[in-house]
Amino acid sequence: MKEIVCKLLVIGAGPGGYICAIRAGQLGVDTVIVEAVKAGGTCLNIGCIPSKALIHAAEEFERVTHMAQAKSPLGISVEAPNLDLFKTIAWKDGIVGRLNSGVLGLLRKARVKIVHGRAKFRDGKTVEVETETGMQVIRAETIVIATGSEPVELPFLPFGGPVISSTEALSLKTVPPKLVVVGGGYIGLELGTAFAKLGSNVTIVEATSQILPQYDAELVKPVSKRLADLGIRVLTGARAKGLSGNALLIETSEGAEEQLAADKILVTVGRKPRTQGWGLDELDLDRAGNFLRIDDRCRTSMRGIHAIGDITGEPMLAHRAMAQGEMVAEIVAGKKRIWDKRCIPAVCFTDPEIVTAGLSPDEARAQGYEIRVGQFPFNANGRAMTMLSEEGFVRIVARADSNLVLGIQAVGSGVSELSSAFALAIEMGARLEDIAATIHAHPTRSEGFQEAALKALGHALHI
């Protein structure tokens, strides 16, 4: 049995894990990373990246379809398009492959030893890894747990046959004629919208009274309108109950039973931390519900063991895991670091997109702030008009006494690209005057950000 001794062992090569290992390697820390499947984790291989590729392909197909139907106001007409989903998925897989190879290359460049296999704890300092060539033992001074998360499976709708998770949805070779999505959160809406644009007849079943329940109704309204325009049926207050032949049996908000015919049933009711199969029971780690409890340095309750990413709780976002991974690497290297983030931006890649950073108006009021809110609509933005995408708005929430920005939200086409500006403003302690006085390039969608600040100050220029 082979044995490796190192200063830092990272379990899981997802966004948090591989960033942690790369940064540690850059700082001269003797580092080993273990990955059971592929470098890049869920995000790169079966999550963020492939889903955005599919969303883009769907948008392109829908755009050409509208042109073929003479619905484009731009005066462009084309022949009716055809879709070969097999080629689309192959293109998506090519992107994933390139990025996967890139991650491996960066790890090697940082002199990180990569071990492919499934890790299992013996104790707080020792891990066994089952590799293709046999069992390997790794002993480390410090261990970082970055095992990520996995889709939640409903006991009455187990994955298999027509019931699929997002993983299988991203690898379908043909477009399902009828697709039912169980769960109206961001994953369900992103994929449901994409397949509707590709030609599926889509129904979304959401148990709460609103799709995207984590967002306020004002942000969700443009998304709901777009779903209706695409012919997507949305059932809120409805609960899935199980399969009935080739249909999903649901209970509607009125209490009636209904059967929804489906070729595929996509279950997207959330994700859970990946805690099984790697010997977590061998460790006496404090929990916060199903997650591992950590402090502001991502330390667990056991000395020498850190945890980062989805296994530590919400928000389950790749960029949060990356930031945690970088911080932990620098702590292991002897630097003084602490988790002190004013905000973690979140993006919902629906149509239109939603971005949030910091506090919403309701959240700010709940924390006791007196606030002022500025909102600017994209239908008054020249760039949005020229791109046939006038839906949505930018909204800024600030303290009434000091004009310190507490939160920024937006809904609209392409607003995901504004997320960094929103986060930067909050991280740097910007006030409304700072944003209003910053010259924004014209014509750009970002001008809506400046105009929202001006509106909150009481002197918007373009509305």
Judged on CB neighbours under 10 Å (0-12, 13-18, 19+), 156 is exposed
Residue type, 98: R
Cα–Cα dist 207/252, whole Å: 9
Q: Is 306 a catalytic residue?
A: no
How many C-beta atoms surround the C-beta of residue 458 within 10 A? Answer: 9
Cα–Cα dist 375/382, whole Å: 16
Residue type, 439: I
Encoding tokens for residue 376? 């600017």
Encoding tokens for residue 223? 């998304």
Backbone angles phi, psi at 220, to 5 degrees: -80, -25
Residue type, 31: T
Which of helix, strand or coil describes residue 395? strand
Backbone angles phi, psi at 413, to 5 degrees: -65, 125
Place of tokens 């460790």: 283
Helices (H), 10-84: 15-26, 41-46, 48-68
CA distances from 246 to 133, 161, 162 (A): 44, 10, 8
Identify the active-site residue in 116, 319, 442, 462: 442
Cα–Cα dist 26/109, whole Å: 9
Cα–Cα dist 90/98, whole Å: 12
Judged on CB neighbours under 10 Å (0-12, 13-18, 19+), 307 is buried
For Cα atoms 71, 75, 76, give the angle at the middle one, nearest 5 degrees: 80
Tell me which residues are annotated as active site: 442
